[in-house]
Amino acid sequence: MSDSSPRVVITGVGVASPLGVGRQAFAEGLTSGRNAIQDLDGRLSLVGPGAGALVDVSRRDYRNYFDTRLLRLSTMTRQTTLGCIACGTLLEDAGCPPNGEVYPDRGAYLGSFIVPPDFAKQARFAALMSHRPENQERGYVIDDSRLEEALKVASAFDFLRALPNMPSAHLSIQAGYQGPACTYLGSDSSGLQSVGMAVGAIRSGLAVAMIAGGAFCPFQEVHLAWQQVRGLWAQRAAESSPIRPYGLGRSGTLPGEGGALFLLEEREHALSRGATILAEVTGFSQRFAAPGSDDEVAVRADALSMAIDQERPDWLAPSGLGHPDLDELEARAYEDALGSELSSAGLVNAVPQLGFSGPAAGPMQLAAALLVARGEARIAGLDVEADPDCASLAAAGGRDGRTGAGSVVLASSFSMDGVHAAVALRVEA
Partner 1 sequence: MTERIAITGIGMVTAAGHGVEACWETLQKGHSCVSRVSYWNPDGMACHIAGEVPGPPKVPNRVGRYDVAGRPLSFAVYAALEALDQAAIGAEVAPLRRAVVASGGFDDQMLPMMARGADRVVPEGENSFEALEADALARAMSAPETLVEMARYSQVEIAQALAEHFEARQAITVSTACAGGSTAIGDAIGMIRRGEADVVLCLGVDSLITYEMMGGFCNLTALSTRNDEPERASRPFDKDRDGFVMGEGAAAIVLERESVAVGRGARILAEMAGFGYSADAYRLTAPHPEGTGMALAMQRAIDDAGMRPDEIDYVNAHGTSTAANDSAETTALKLVFAEHAGRLAVSGTKSMIGHLIHGAGAVGAAVAVKTLLEQQVHPTANYETPDPACDLDVVGGEPRSMAVGGVIVNAFGFGGQNASLVFRKYQQPEHGAEQISH
Q: Which is nearer to partner 1, 319 or 349 (CB)?
A: 319
Amino acid occupying residue 230: R
Q: Are strands 346-347 and 315-317 parallel, antiparallel or unpaired?
A: parallel
Question: Contact region for partner 1 (CB under 8 A) — 130-138, 209-217, 317-325, 396-404?
Answer: 130-138
Q: Is 142 in the site for partner 1 (CB under 8 A)?
A: yes
Q: How far is the CB of 195 from partner 1 (least distance, A)?
A: 13
Distance CA 318, CA 189 (A): 12
Q: Is 380 in the site for partner 1 (CB under 8 A)?
A: no
Question: Which of 15, 181, 210, 261 touches partner 1 by CB under 8 A?
Answer: 181
Region 207-246 residues binding partner 1, contact defined as CB under 8 A: 221-222, 225-226, 228-230
Buried-exposed string 217-234: b where 16+ CB fall within 10 A, e elsewhere = bbbbbebbeebeeeebbb
Q: How far is the CB of 226 from partner 1 (least distance, A)?
A: 5
Q: Is 124 in the site for partner 1 (CB under 8 A)?
A: yes
Largest CA distance in the chain: 69
Question: Which of 34, 99, 102, 396 touches partner 1 by CB under 8 A?
Answer: 102
Region 319-348 residues binding partner 1, contact defined as CB under 8 A: none
Question: Contact region for partner 1 (CB under 8 A) — 25-33, 135-143, 349-357, 394-402?
Answer: 135-143
Contact partners, residue 33, CB within 8 Å, separation at least 6:
353, 379, 380
Instruction: Give the interface size with partner 1 as a residue count (CB under 8 A).
Output: 98
Question: Contact region for partner 1 (CB under 8 A) — 41-49, 370-378, 379-387, 392-400?
Answer: 41-49
Q: Which is nearer to partner 1, 130 or 403 (CB)?
A: 130
- What are residue 211's DSSP bridge partners? 108, 263
Region 247-286 residues binding partner 1, contact defined as CB under 8 A: 286
Residue 319's alpha-carbon distances to 153, 277, 368, 389, in angstroms, are 40, 26, 12, 16
Distance CA 333, CA 418 (A): 13
Q: How far is the CB of 405 from partner 1 (least distance, A)?
A: 28
Q: Which is nearer to partner 1, 193 or 349 (CB)?
A: 193
- What are residue 39's DSSP bridge partners? 51
Please state at what angle helix 221-230 crosses helix 119-129, rounded to 10 degrees.
80
Q: Are strands 20-21 and 419-427 parallel, antiparallel or unpaired?
A: unpaired
- What are residue 279's DSSP bridge partners? 10, 427
Q: Is 63 in the site for partner 1 (CB under 8 A)?
A: no
Q: Torsion-angle region of residue 428: left (phi > 0), alpha (psi -120 to 50) or beta?
A: beta
Q: How far is the CB of 282 from partner 1 (least distance, A)?
A: 15
Q: How far is the CB of 386 from partner 1 (least distance, A)?
A: 31
Question: Which of 34, 38, 99, 151 touches partner 1 by CB under 8 A?
Answer: 151
Q: How far is the CB of 20 from partner 1 (least distance, A)?
A: 29
Q: Is 97 in the site for partner 1 (CB under 8 A)?
A: no
